[in-house]
Structure formats: structure tokens, C-alpha cells
Amino acid sequence: MPVLAPVLHSAVLYFAYGSNLDSENWNLWCANKGFDAASIEPLGPAWLPDYELVFHYQSRLRKGGALDVRPRLGNVIPGALFRVHDWEGLDAKEGVAGGYYRRLSVTALTDDGHAHRATTYRVCEARHGSFVPPSPAYREIVMRGLARFGHRHDAFLEAAAGAAASESPRAIFAYGTLMRGERNHELLSCRVLNAHGPARVGDAALLQIDWYPGLVLHQGGTVHGELYELADVASALRELDSYEDFMGYESATSLYRRSLITAVTSSGTTLAWTYIFLGDPAAFPLIPTGRWSGA
């Protein structure tokens, strides 16, 4: 699949999280209904931040619950991004004209730290109900689609069904004033469940912004920091978002953006939250070592 470049403003990207991830199901539906299956083009795996999966919609077609999304700070939904050449087939499959699902503008993240403006679908509020378990056939379709894009699928679906805890990232990569020994470490340390020690992020660089640093992407270097597991992800991120001047994915005035990156430790790799600097990299001096010290 093509590598995703950052697309911050796009009307042609679609974030899929349910049955449309599965090419077999999509192709069959298009063939039966007379739509062009090539109207959507898979680009690669992605995540929808600050939302969770939920089964609260009874689908006659699926003979049980069908997936929906709803806001939940600190949670992520696994899925994929598609380039859309024609929205007619998607809108028809999602029942937009009949008031079943509606389009929703969102920001999807890829684990290289990039953010992508996209459209997804939510169940219309009038069709919300109590928990509706999915049929085995529907679960199989969604699991097959998630596996197609390399996602672990069972735990996310079990969490949506209320049978397991959320599998969303609980780790955060700190590289500046939140690290041990730095001036604001206490803001993070009081929210930590486990400290995993030194970590690094590749293909990145560290800039000297002021009395604090900023991590920027695709600069060919390595940024060194520390990895921490958060005790209460939502509570911690609420405080850290404010501290890092991140005002939400729709904001055009945030100084940093909360993103997902792959952090490397001595024990392997971890998908973790971090904060990406949104200013002009050329306007600030590079920290050549990729290591911050506020001393």
C-alpha cells in the first residue's frame, strides 16, 4: 500500500473502522448494488484518537449490533485510511439518505506521528439504543478487515462489547521538561503507573524552542527521551494537553499536537502518545544530540 504523507486538509480521505475494512465484504456489496468497488482506494492503517467503538445500534442487515464510534478522551480506534474517488457508494452502504449513519469530519493518526483530515461515519442519534451484541458473521467481517491492515482485532472488539478493558495506548514518550530531573517532571510523575526508562524515536529531530524543546518529524535523526505508562490515561492527557498547549485536533492555534509514535526501548517497540511541535522547524535551532537538558 502507498506510504501516507501528511494530509492536514483533505476532502477525499475516509477513515474506516468496521465492515468496509474488509475488501471481500465491500466488493460483494458493490457488485450486488451496482457500485464501483474501486471508488475507494486503501492507503494504510490508521487510528482515530479520542473515540471508542460501541455497539448500540441494531442492524437488520447484520442481524445484530453494528459498530459506531463515540468520543472518549485518550482512547483510539484501529482502522484504515482510504482515498475516495466517489462518495456515492459509501454513502449508500452507510444508509446516509435513510438517516442510519451520517458523515463526520475527524482527524486520523498514523503511528509515524502524522495527522490526516478525513471523513468517517457515525450512527444518527435517533437510532442509538442500549448495547446490541454483534452477530458472529459481522464480527468475522470486521476482524478480517482489521487483520488486513495489521491491527490486533480481538481485544478492540471485546472492549466494544464490554467484555474486556480498552487496548488503547497507555504509554507516553517524554523528551523535554516532563522527563525525570526536569522542571515539570512532577506534572507527569504523579500520573505514572510504570516508568519504562530510556526510549527513542527515529526519523525525528529536537529543536530548541525556548526554555523547552520541540520534537519534529522526518528530519532523519533520533530523539531520546523516556517512556512512561499512565495510570489513568484520560485524566493524565487532559492535564498534559493543557500543559502542552494542545487544544484539540480541530484547532488551528495549538502549539503542539498529541500524536502517536513508535517508541523504541531496550525491550522492544511501543505505540505511545507524544507531543509534536507544530511551528516552523527552520525558525529554531537544532539540538544536534537529540537529547534535551534544561540544566
User: What's the CA gap between 166 and 200, in Å, rounded?
Assistant: 25
- Write down the number of H helices and E strands in the chain: 6, 10
Cα torsion 148, 150, 154, 158: sign: negative
Per-residue pLDDT, 3 = 43
Q: What three-state secondary structure class fits 280?
A: coil
Beta strands in 125-283 (DSSP E): 171-174, 192-208, 213-230, 256-265, 268-277
Q: Give the pLDDT score at 168.
A: 81
Among residues of the chain, what percentage have pLDDT more than 70?
91
Q: What secondary structure letter does DSSP report for 286?
A: B
Domain 13-160 top-level CATH class? alpha beta
Among candidate residues 178, 175, 174, 176, the one with its CA nearest the CA of residue 187: 178
pLDDT digits (tens, 9 = 90+) for 72-112: 999 999 999 999 999 999 999 999 999 999 999 999 999 88
Same fold flag, 13-160 and 171-283: yes
Q: What is the pLDDT of residue 153?
A: 61
- Place domain 171-283 in its CATH homologous superfamily: Gamma-glutamyl cyclotransferase-like (3.10.490.10)
295 compared with 35, residue with greater pLDDT: 35
For residue 159, name the pLDDT band (cuts at 50, 70, 90): low
Tell me the pLDDT tens digit for each residue of 20-54. 999 999 999 999 999 999 999 999 999 999 999 99
The single-letter DSSP state of residue 3 is P
SS3 231: coil
Domain locations in the chain?
A: 13-160, 171-283
State percent of the chain over pLDDT 90.
Answer: 84
From CA 178, how far away is CA 181, in angstroms rounded?
8
Give the pairing type, strands 192-208 and 213-230. Answer: antiparallel
> Secondary structure of 118-160 in the HEC alphabet?
EEEEEECHHHCCCCCCCCHHHHHHHHHHHHHCCCCCHHHHHHH
